[in-house]
C-alpha cells in the first residue's frame, strides 16, 4: 500500500525551541510554568525569610503579636457568574488566604481598576456584594484606591484586595509543620467554581445549575482551632485545584503524599462537564474548599467538624503523609488499585479535540 515499505524508518521529529521571552497565559495558570516564574524571577530578586515560607499569606511578628498578611488580584471573566461575582470573590479569596495561615482576618484594602464604559449599576452590584461578603466573614474594608483605564485597556473591572489578620501565639500552621503520619482532609466536593465559570462563558452552551462554591472559610477554620485540633497545614484549593495544592505542600514540606481516588467527591454535573471538555476535576479551581493536614489522632474529630456544615457534607479524609522525601511527590491510588503520580499541571487545562 505504501510507496516505500520503510516509511517509518525515516521518521523525523519537531525541532525544540527555547523557552518563551514573553508572558503567556500559562504564567498565571498556577502550574509549573507559573512556579518557575515565581522561583526564577520573584524569589530570585525578592527573597527574604518571610516570603521564602511560600505560604498563602506571610506570617510575622510585630512586637508580641503574630500577624498574617496577604494580597490577591481578581481578573475573572465573566464578572457575574452563577453563585457570585468578582466582589464576593475578592473578599473571600483574601479572607481565605488569611484563614489558611490560621489567622483571624480583620481588615482589607480594596483596589479597583475599572475600564472606561463599565456600567455604574454593575459597579454598585459589585460593591454591595463586597459589603455583604465583609459582613459574612466579619472583616472591614479600611482603605481603598480607584483607577480608570481607557476603553479596551482592561477587561471591565479588575480588583485587588490585601488583608491582615492576627494569629494566636501558639498556632503554627505552615507546610514546614507537616509530618509523616499526618492525615489529609478535604472540606467538601471539588470543582464547582471552575466549572460554574466555564459554563457561564458565552461560547459554551452548557445548561447546568452548578453554582460556584465561593464562601469564606474563616468560620470553619476557627471551629477547628477552637476544638484544639492539631493542624499542621491548611491550603485553599483555588487555581490549579487539589492536585496543585498537594504538590506545592509536598515540595515545600519535603514529604510524600498518598491519596485515594475513591475518597474524593465530585458532583455529578461537574464530572459530566469535565468529561466532555477533557478536564480533570482534581485540577479545577474551587473558591470555598480547602485541604487540612492534621495529626492522625485528631483526624476523625476534624472530619466531624467539617461535616457539621452543609457545604462540608462531602468532606473526607483523602490520604496520608507517608514519608520524608527530598523532592516531594504525590501519588494517587486509582479506583483499580494501581498507583499513579498526581503531578502539577504544566500550564492551563485546555479543552481537547475529541
- The residue ranges that bind another protein (CB under 8 A) are 1-3, 5-17, 19-20, 22-26, 32-33, 36, 203-204, 268, 271-272, 275, 278, 327, 329, 331, 334-341, 343, 346-347, 350-354
DSSP per residue, 272-341? HHHHHHT--GGGS--SS-EEEEE-GGGHHHHHHHHHTSGGGTT-EEEEEEEEE-SS-EEEEE-TTS-EEE
Q: How far is the CB of 15 from another protein (least distance, A)?
A: 4
Q: Decide whether 50 or 204 has the Cβ nearer to another protein.
A: 204
Q: How far is the CB of 203 from another protein (least distance, A)?
A: 6
Scored b (16 or more CB within 10 A) or e, 231-240 reads bbbbbbbbbb
Q: Is 228 exposed, middle or buried (CB count within 10 Å of its CB: 0-12, 13-18, 19+)?
A: exposed
Q: Decide whether 168 or 324 has the Cβ nearer to another protein.
A: 324
Q: How far is the CB of 339 from another protein (least distance, A)?
A: 7
Q: How far is the CB of 266 from another protein (least distance, A)?
A: 9
Do the Cβ atoms of 291 and 237 come closer than 8 Å? Answer: yes
Q: Give the other-Cβ count within 10 Å of 309's Cβ.
A: 15
Q: Decide whether 247 or 291 has the Cβ nearer to another protein.
A: 247
Q: What is the CA 104 to chain-centroid distance, rounded? A: 19
Q: Decide whether 174 or 320 has the Cβ nearer to another protein.
A: 320
Q: How far is the CB of 17 from another protein (least distance, A)?
A: 6
Q: Decide whether 138 or 272 has the Cβ nearer to another protein.
A: 272
Amino acid at each position: 500500500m505504501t510507496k516505500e515499505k520503510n516509511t517509518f524508518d525515516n521518521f523525523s521529529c519537531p525541532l525544540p525551541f527555547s523557552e518563551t521571552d514573553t508572558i503567556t497565559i500559562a504564567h498565571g495558570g498556577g502550574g509549573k510554568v507559573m512556579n518557575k516564574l515565581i522561583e526564577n524571577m520573584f524569589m530570585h530578586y525578592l527573597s527574604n525569610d518571610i516570603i521564602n515560607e511560600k505560604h498563602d499569606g506571610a506570617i510575622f511578628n510585630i512586637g508580641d503579636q503574630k500577624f498574617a498578611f496577604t494580597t490577591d488580584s481578581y481578573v475573572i471573566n465573566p464578572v457575574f457568574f452563577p453563585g457570585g461575582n468578582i466582589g464576593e470573590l475578592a473578599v473571600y479569596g483574601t479572607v481565605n488566604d488569611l484563614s489558611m495561615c490560621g489567622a483571624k482576618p480583620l481588615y482589607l484594602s480594596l483596589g479597583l481598576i475599572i475600564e472606561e464604559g463599565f456600567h455604574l449599576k454593575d459597579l454598585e452590584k459589585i460593591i454591595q456584594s463586597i459589603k455583604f461578603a465583609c459582613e459574612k466573614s466579619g472583616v472591614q474594608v479600611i482603605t481603598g484606591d480607584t483607577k480608570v483605564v481607557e476603553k479596551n485597556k482592561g477587561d471591565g473591572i479588575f480588583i485587588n484586595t490585601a488583608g491582615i489578620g492576627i494569629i494566636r501565639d501558639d498556632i503554627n500552621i505552615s507546610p514546614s509543620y507537616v509530618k509523616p503520619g499526618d492525615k489529609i482532609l478535604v472540606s467538601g466536593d471539588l470543582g464547582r467554581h471552575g466549572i460554574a465559570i466555564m459554563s457561564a462563558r458565552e461560547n459554551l452552551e452548557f445548561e447546568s445549575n452548578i453554582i460556584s462554591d465561593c464562601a469564606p472559610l474563616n468560620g470553619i477554620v476557627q471551629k477547628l482551632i477552637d476544638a484544639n485540633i492539631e493542624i499542621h497545614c491548611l491550603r485553599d484549593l483555588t487555581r490549579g485545584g487539589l492536585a496543585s495544592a498537594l504538590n506545592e505542600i509536598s515540595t515545600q514540606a519535603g514529604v510524600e503524599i498518598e491519596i485515594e481516588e475513591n475518597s474524593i467527591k465530585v458532583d455529578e454535573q461537574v464530572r459530566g462537564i469535565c468529561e466532555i471538555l477533557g478536564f480533570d476535576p482534581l485540577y479545577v479551581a474551587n473558591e470555598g474548599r480547602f485541604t487540612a493536614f492534621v495529626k492522625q489522632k485528631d483526624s476523625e474529630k476534624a472530619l466531624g467538624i467539617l461535616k457539621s456544615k452543609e457545604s462540608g457534607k462531602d468532606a473526607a479524609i483523602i490520604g496520608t503523609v507517608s514519608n520524608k522525601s527530598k523532592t516531594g511527590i504525590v501519588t494517587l491510588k486509582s479506583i483499580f488499585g494501581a498507583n499513579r503520580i498526581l503531578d502539577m499541571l504544566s500550564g492551563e487545562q485546555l479543552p481537547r479535540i475529541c
